[in-house]
Structure 1
Amino acid sequence: MSAVTTLATARSAVTVAEDAHQVRRRRRLSPGKRWPAARLAGPLLVVVLWTAASAAGTLDPGAIPAPWTVAETAGRLWSDGTLATDVVTSLRRAAIGFSIGLGAGVLLALAAGLSRVGDALIDGTVQLNRAVPTLGLIPLFILWLGIGETFKIAIIAIVVYIPMYLNTHAALSGIDSRYVELAEVQGLSRLRFIRQVVIPGSLPGFFVGLRLSVTGSWLGLVVLEQINATSGLGYMMFQAQNYGQTDVILVGLLIYGVFGLVSDSVVRLIERRVLSWRRTLSS
């Protein structure tokens, strides 16, 4: 009996040693521990280098003003209400266009991914639209919709819906057919199949498209707000260009950058919460 116990103990020790070796191997090959707010390290390093170069007189103040000059300009614009108005206007345009593009991209992806007829009618059309530069549609949309807010929101929606559709549709197409067969064996209804199989299977691609769409909405907004606009961050930067105010231009660029970083971080946070079951290299 003691020999059996000794043998079992030895096997257990070997198993524990192998598990410990596997854990050490994973730690050696993995990127490492995730640090809180680690994504701010890069931008903060750029600001530090910018500050040091400005203090040393390496940078031409007329071309690239010092960080403290940009901060003073931002404070002045905020105090007189100009910056606050432009920020609110830009956020409203981006939010409306993004919402329309998000809804259109998801609905088209579902229609194309769940139906052969939908795929035949939708996918080729979207791929054709994808091949045409979206900003190249601006002259045509101005003729159709005028030069007001409508065409700006429409262009942002197009910029957003294309990556949303492509990534969500790719995720839907990549769902393992065995899950479909299992759902048929279980007798799931169409609605339950979509809720329990389609939506969970498409979420990884959906979030990839969401991150690309968020970034695209800000990129489109930068260009569109310089076309016959009377307010917005892009309009503010365009006016500053006419008067050679590089500090005001940098204020606008920094705000766009902050908006992009914050929105992307929010999407990543939601993705980690929703897809907490998925073990990936980044997690």
Structure 2
Amino acid sequence: MADHVSTVLVTAPERPVATSPVPVPRVTTTGRPRVRRLAPGRRRPYARLLGPLLLLAVWAGASAAGLLDPRILPAPWTVLHTGWHLWTAGTLRTDLGTSLWRATQGFAIGLVAGVLLALAAGLSRIGEALIDGTVQVNRAVPTLGLIPLFILWLGIGETFKVVIIAIVVYIPVYLNLHAALAGIDSRYVELAEVLRLSRWQFVRQVVIPGALPGFFVGLRLAVTGSWLSLVVLEQINATNGLGYMMFQAQNYGQTDVIVLGLLIYGVFGFASDSAVRLLERRVLAWRRSLSS
């Protein structure tokens, strides 16, 4: 009987096979790409008052600390007290009204003249040939240098003052409006011709909207120029006005009155420029720009 030999196979326990970890996909939430804003940002109401108010605060602080000699630059409260005294006495009201009337007259005449000349030169080659060169020559001549000549022509009264202010006003109005008219894209002109627009329709629908931004730039410069010329003109054989008040204060060494006149001119200039800016935003509300 054959011996049956039974063999037992002993197997070692299986080792766990090291497997590389399966990469788990990372879930990322993709939203709108972040865009860096390059615009100045949202407009803040009354933000333009921050600079003047800061300057006024520095002036008041330096005066209160005794850093400023009151004979050179009086304190703000001293200037306000002087203004109140002159207002109650009636002299400041008279000078203020006279200066406003002179500036208004000269500004109105210069504005009308500048707009009419710019339209004539910008819409006609003949008008440009006749007008633009003359205006450029007038611009090169110092306007205040014309004062002696205009005194000989018009006398020493109010007329020459109004005319000088008008000249100072019309030059920036003309230059900026004429440049805006010349900068209108010629494709708009071709489109108007294709649509068979009349001359008036072309001016109303193409020329005026295209030239308004340049016109308002010239208007702001003209408003400032009217006040700058007024302060000089009112010191020449005048009997009233803010410039006359400052000239008389110089003779008597009244620094507070001089500073008061300068502050009034500054307030008038700031207020008129702000009014033009407000009008510009209303009229050009359709335009999207960095300032809007």
Give TM-score scaled by structure 2 length.
0.89
Aligned to 2:97: 88
The 3-state SS of whatever aligns with 1:147 is coil
Displacement of 1:170 after TM fit? 0.2
Q: 2:144 aligns with which of 135, 139, 153?
A: 135
Aligned to 1:9: none
Aligned to 1:62: 71
Aligned to 1:253: 262
Aligned to 1:17: 32
Q: 1:208 aligns with which of 206, 212, 217?
A: 217
Displacement of 1:279 after TM fit? 1.6
CA–CA separation in structure 2 for the residues paired with 1:147 and 1:182: 53
Aligned to 1:148: 157
Q: Pairwise mapping of residues 1-283 of structure 1 onto structure 2 (< 5 A)?
A: 17-18=32-33, 21-22=34-35, 25-26=36-37, 29-283=38-292
Amino acid at match of 1:35: R
CA–CA separation in structure 2 for the residues paired with 1:31 and 1:199: 28
Displacement of 1:196 after TM fit? 0.8
The 3-state SS of whatever aligns with 2:41 is coil
Aligned to 2:10: none
Amino acid at match of 1:118: G
Displacement of 1:281 after TM fit? 1.6
Amino acid at match of 2:187: R
CA–CA separation in structure 2 for the residues paired with 1:42 and 1:77: 28
Displacement of 1:280 after TM fit? 1.5
- Structure 2 runs not aligned, ≥5 long: 1-28
Amino acid at match of 1:63: I
CA–CA separation in structure 2 for the residues paired with 1:142 and 1:75: 35
Spell out, residue by residue over 1:36-80, the C-alpha distance to the aligned partner (whole angstroms, 9 max, x if none).
Answer: 111111111111111111111111111101111101000000001
Spell out, residue by residue over 1:137-190, the C-alpha distance to the aligned partner (whole angstroms, 9 max, x if none).
Answer: 111111110111000000000000000000000000000011111111111111
CA–CA separation in structure 2 for the residues paired with 1:162 and 1:138: 16
Over the aligned positions, Cα root-mean-square deviation in angstroms equals: 1.1
CA–CA separation in structure 2 for the residues paired with 1:279 and 1:222: 37
The structure having more radius of gyration, on CA atoms, is 2
- Structure 1 runs not aligned, ≥5 long: 1-12
CA–CA separation in structure 1 for the residues paired with 2:43 and 2:130: 44
Displacement of 1:32 after TM fit? 2.1
Identity of aligned residues (%): 77
User: If each structure's helix is expressed as a fraction of its own residues, which one has the higher value?
Assistant: 1
Give TM-score scaled by structure 1 length.
0.91
